[in-house]
Structure 1
């Protein structure tokens, strides 16, 4: 794919709210080292918990109910690990030393992912230009779903608010076994190659190695070790991915793509209409920020505005940063939205329904 000119944000002025906000956060919230240690304990604890549940599959999996139970617990823990620990490490926010974050990211390979690719896809495209058409690959993933107003409209999109209920539960399977290969080798609409000149041969080897290792220990070893029919283990493995994906999709659809979402476009010279910080607040939403359970499960996604403004800060700090963001939003008349997760999910599917039909120009104000 031909590389496009990177979008350019508006330069900040002398009275930039974010400079003041960042100074306040640095001088107050980030001085609490206990929140840093909490993040490390939580991350390592989740990793231990995943492999404990995996051990329970091999130890108790001859009982079919327990087989499914521990596979499902593995799936939930896998997604929570990704959303919390791996997500923070990718941003250099888990450990203080960058090499420790890089070492931890290699653990992602055990879950079938490719940390080299995902880090570039997530940080260089999504975080750099969230909700910007042709750049935010976390939103533009497939023609199966239409979210960007500028994306082509196909006849089947009028049903996307219905069939996506059936597709979203396969998200982790798509991510591990389809999307990575598409980004490595695909030629059509390969947005990753805008920011990657050449994929190192080492990463191609690691891509295949990670997938094979993941399948061997999570699927083939239990099939060989347990006194269960192969299709029963396969069914439990599918249940692991389905339940994990359902949990993870709540975070994916609640932060950027509701019915009031903005998708800023550049002018002819590639300029956006807002500063970087203002852009993050316009296109990002919070959900269930007051829920202790949601904050534990979803980490930097419940307080997602804080994450986009302070991506190099661990998610355990965000519940303390968000009140500062709210105060600045009120003082400077800035956009800020937070709502319960069920409202976010409902709003996302209403958005899918509206984007699946031809827009009425009388309603969109084009004339």
Structure 2
């Protein structure tokens, strides 16, 4: 489909948000990118991944401990994506461009590709959030139906039971299939990706080979095929489950909007900032452990409005955004606990399991 347009801003809402947020950073004398807290976290996460990998692959722990470490390594992998790669990919990890690029390359080391992700996430998802046919994050066909204007298949009747399994396969499906599909078609859905330079092609294949060597060839050589297979499946499935749940709780819950462009004009009826608030939700923002592990992705409203601000600042600017929303009469969606958001997501899937396809406008 042709990408839709948003109506021009009719209020000063977003301008006011930017003004207040800029004033906050001027007041505290800080840059909106990452700080020492983020750099310490990055060091802890990367060190943890290296330790777990070396211990599993070269030191052969007992079976019970190896299984636990595979789960832990999956969680650490997801956390590196949330905290390091995500900020780096948005240019918010550091004030230095090369540091952001280095942080973004952690995605390549873990099997995916930052060039593909930048088009899929930064350009498409952040602009056209929850617009079916454009936002690739909504495309889980044929396994899941994530919004009401998607085709309803018989299998979807049970999606609120089996979605855990589908989510667990995300990471492996991503690194072994969808990256290659995007590479060879040079598209994310129907939208062309940014033209790849010779360096981008070299990076794609070089890191894919490196990941395959590190996570497939070397472990099979050191521990054997069957132990590797069991361990890699546990690791990959837990990584995929954690990643999927965190991202789905931001946009596919009960109250979220899934706007359909007006057919005659191909326009979304809201200005961009209001669209983000209608399609996005926060969860467990007072839980410091959740915030630390998810890289502030439980503050999705703040992230979608200000993607170039590092997640370490989200707790502070969330107060500014909440206050402005109250003044302008804009709804600010938030779940107090992670389990509340998960139950809302399950309820959303259950409703879609029963609803017919929404009539197009």
TM-score after normalising by structure 2: 0.90
Once superposed, what is the RMSD of the aligned Cα atoms? Answer: 2.4
Partner of 2:92: 93
The answer as to 2:75 corresponding to 1:76 is yes
Q: Distance in 1 between matches of 2:357 and 2:182?
A: 34
What secondary structure does 2:296 align onto? helix
Alpha-carbon distance in structure 1 between the residues aligned to 2:36 and 2:13: 30
Pairing 1:359–2:356 present:
yes
Greater shift, 63-72 or 135-144, is seen at 63-72
Pick the aligned partner of 1:350 from 347, 350, 355: 347
Return 264-273 or 288-297, whichever deviates more. Answer: 264-273
1:157-196 aligned at under 5 Å gives the runs 157-185=156-184, 191-196=188-193
1:54 corresponding residue in structure 2? 53
- How big is each residue's C-alpha offset from its partner over 1:297-339, in whole Å with a ceiling of 9 and x where there is no partner? 1123111100001100000000111111111121111111111
- Aligned equivalent of 2:292, options 292, 296, 299: 296
- The separation in 1 between residues aligned to 2:194 and 2:71, in whole angstroms, is 39
* Distance across 1 between alignment mates of 2:345 and 2:25: 32
In the TM superposition, residue 243 of structure 1 has moved relative to its aligned partner by 2.0
Task: Note if 1:223 corresponds to 2:215.
Answer: no
How many Å separate the matches in 2 of 1:289 and 1:147?
24
Measured against aligned partners, the alpha-carbon deviations of 1:342-361 in whole angstroms (never above 9, x if no partner) come to 12111112211221234398
Indicate yes or no: 2:59 matched with 1:64. Answer: no
| Separation of aligned partners in 1, 2:321 and 2:79 | 25
- Single out whichever of 140-149 and 252-261 deviates more from structure 2: 140-149
**TM-score, normalisation: structure 1:** 0.89
Match of 2:132 in 1: 133
1:41-92 deviation line (CA, Å, top 9, x unaligned): 2223312221122122234324222322332222111100101110111110
* 1:327 lines up with 2:318 in the alignment: no
| Greater Cα shift, 79-88 or 60-69 | 60-69
Q: Does 1:262 align with 2:260?
A: no
What is the distance in 1 between the residues matched to 2:188 and 2:80?
A: 26
CA distance in 2, matches of 1:143, 1:202: 35
> Relative to structure 1, is the Cα distance of residues 197 and 116 closer, same or farther in structure 2, using a 3 angstrom cutoff?
closer
Q: Partners of 1:196 and 1:214 in 2: how far apart?
A: 23
- Which sections of structure 1, spanning at least 5 residues, go unmatched? none
5+ residue gaps, structure 2, are none
Cα pair 1:134 1:191 within 8 Å, conserved? no
The reply to whether residue 246 of structure 1 matches residue 241 of structure 2 is yes
Tell me if structure 1 keeps the 8 A contact 2:146–2:349: yes
Q: Tell me which of 278, 283, 287 is aligned to 1:287.
A: 283
Query: How far, CA to CA, are the matches of 1:258 and 1:241 in structure 2?
Result: 25
SS of equivalent to 1:327 = helix
Deviates more, 1:247-256 or 1:60-69: 60-69
Q: Say if 2:19 is the partner of 1:23.
A: yes
Distance 1:338 1:66, change over 3 A: same
Aligned residues of 2:152 and 2:356 also touching (Cα < 8 A) = no
Structure 2 CA distance, aligned partners of 1:66 and 1:52? 14
Contact 2:6 2:268 in 1 (8 A): yes
Question: Is the Cα–Cα contact under 8 Å of residues 113 and 204 in structure 2 kept in the other structure?
Answer: yes
Deviation of the 1:203 alpha carbon = 4.2
- How many pairs were matched up? 355
Is the 8 Å Cα contact of residues 177 and 211 (structure 1) preserved in structure 2? no
- 1:9 maps to which residue? 6
Change (3 A) 1:154 1:58: closer
1:288 offset after TM fit, Å?
0.3
